[in-house]
């Protein structure tokens, strides 16, 4: 386990319930603590350490589960250290869901190192199931597609004050516009998602763009994360609108909103397909922290069985429930 925070702790529990043995754990502020104390899982005897390369070299794991960060620039070094010592890696790093367009050189380097050492690197998580697999399946039931448009949202209040400030909560419209003009932002999570949908559907990406729009409070709204009331007319968060055009015609769009919810609002995932025929799908219930972790765990046998390299979820077999022990689903690679 590389990164033992909110997601890592749930994944560690799910993995042990599927017969996996945890042979090592790497953290940052939790170094020296028993993994059982940090995760709440009984019967694991591992102590959290600090040097991923040393731990992988010594414990020789089949797989490293990496839940430390979101972007290529933050995970690349750690991923390479694991691959070089013959460990497969699966992560939740959102950019790596499909990073061939956003970080092509780094992705090619990871691909080459993984192939050289006969192992795989894959990113899975909530996007895999709800934004790629479900959507690609919906597209598979259409004869002709003009546009596929997703709308997803998350509540700023589910996270800490840092993220609330990142979402510009409390800004005036002028302050928001000023921030947007000067902002150097990493790739949105929507962009690699749409690239994965395109890859899963045999579509060739020719252009990707992102527009960002503020969401304004229509009434005075309390923000718990910042312990302040956002007056009507000020910013509650924003929506990133990613658009991907393809050589074959279908346009893929994902509108992702992160904002302070008002009463009655909940996380959502809704997709509309315009074509022959028009289609849609929507999820009313989304316990994202659990779907994220369960999806990753169900991918484990597939990534251990896959041919070596950077293997995106677009290339893996369809996402399926993997009952019982992970070991029962392994084939010789």
Ligand X SMILES: NC(=O)c1ccc[n+]([C@@H]2O[C@H](COP(=O)([O-])OP(=O)(O)OC[C@H]3O[C@@H](n4cnc5c(N)ncnc54)[C@H](OP(=O)(O)O)[C@@H]3O)[C@@H](O)[C@H]2O)c1
List residues binding ligand X (CB under 6 A): 3-8, 26-30, 67-70, 92, 94, 125-127, 292
Closer residue to ligand X (CB): 53 or 175: 53
Q: Are 233 and 216 in contact (CB under 8 A)?
A: yes
Minimum gap (Å) between residue 7 Cβ and ligand X:
3
Distance CA 148, CA 331 (A): 36
DSSP 8-state assignment for residue 284: S
> Does residue 317 sit in helix, strand or coil?
coil
Based on CB atoms, which residue is closest to ligand X, 103 or 292? 292
Looking at the Cβ atoms of 48 and 119, the one nearer to ligand X is 48
Q: Which residue is nearest to ligand X (CB)?
A: 5
- With respect to ligand X, which residue has the nearer C-beta, 27 or 309? 27
For ligand X, the closer CB: 83 or 145 = 83
Nearest to 306 by CA among 53, 80, 124: 124
Burial of 212 (0-12, 13-18, 19+ CB in 10 A): middle
As measured in angstroms, the least distance from the Cβ of 195 to ligand X is 14
Given a contact cutoff of 8 angstroms between Cβ atoms, the answer to whether 276 and 142 are in contact is yes
Q: In sequence order, what are the residues at sequence separation of 6 or more whose Cβ sits closer than 8 angstroms to the Cβ of residue 307? A: 120, 333
What are the residues whose beta carbons fall under 8 Å from the beta carbon of 206, sequence distance 6 or more?
A: 245, 246, 247
Rg of the chain over Cα atoms, rounded to whole angstroms, equals 20
Nearer to ligand X, 82 or 216 (CB): 82
Under DSSP, is residue 241 helix (H, G, I), strand (E, B) or coil? strand
Residue 275 neighbours by CB distance under 10 Å: 16
Quick check: bond before 277 cis, omega within 30? yes
Which of residues 189 and 250 has its CB atom nearest to ligand X in the complex? Answer: 189
């Amino acid at each position: 386990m590389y990164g033992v925070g909110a997601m890592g702790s749930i994944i560690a529990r799910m993995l042990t319930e599927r017969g996996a043995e945890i042979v090592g754990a790497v953290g940052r502020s939790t170094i020296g603590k028993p993994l059982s104390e940090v995760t709440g899982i009984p019967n694991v005897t591992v102590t959290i350490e600090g040097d991923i390369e040393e731990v992988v070299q010594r414990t020789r794991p089949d797989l490293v589960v990496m839940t430390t960060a979101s972007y290529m620039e933050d995970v690349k070094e750690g991923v390479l250290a694991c691959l070089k010592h013959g460990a497969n890696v699966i992560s939740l790093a959102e950019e790596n869901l499909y990073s061939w367009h956003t970080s092509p050189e780094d992705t090619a380097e990871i691909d080459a190192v993984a192939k050289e050492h006969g192992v795989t690197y894959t990113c899975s998580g909530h996007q895999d199931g709800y934004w790629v697999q479900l959507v690609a399946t919906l597209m598979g039931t259409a004869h002709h597609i003009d546009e596929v448009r997703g709308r997803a949202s998350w509540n700023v209040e589910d996270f800490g004050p840092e993220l609330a400030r990142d979402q510009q909560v409390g800004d005036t419209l002028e302050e928001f516009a000023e921030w947007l003009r000067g902002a150097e932002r990493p790739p949105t999570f929507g962009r690699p998602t749409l690239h994965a949908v395109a890859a899963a559907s045999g579509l060739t990406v020719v252009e990707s763009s992102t527009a960002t729009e503020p969401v304004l409070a229509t009434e005075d709204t309390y923000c718990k994360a910042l312990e302040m009331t956002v007056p009507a007319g000020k910013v509650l968060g924003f929506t990133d609108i990613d658009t991907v055009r393809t050589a074959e015609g279908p346009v893929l769009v994902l509108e992702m909103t992160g904002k302070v919810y008002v009463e009655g609002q909940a996380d959502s995932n809704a997709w509309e397909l315009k074509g022959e025929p028009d289609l849609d799908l929507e999820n009313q219930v989304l316990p994202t922290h659990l779907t994220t972790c369960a999806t990753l765990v169900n991918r484990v046998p597939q990534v251990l069985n896959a041919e070596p390299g950077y293997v995106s979820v677009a290339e893996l077999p369809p996402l399926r429930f993997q009952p019982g022990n992970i070991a029962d689903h392994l084939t010789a690679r």
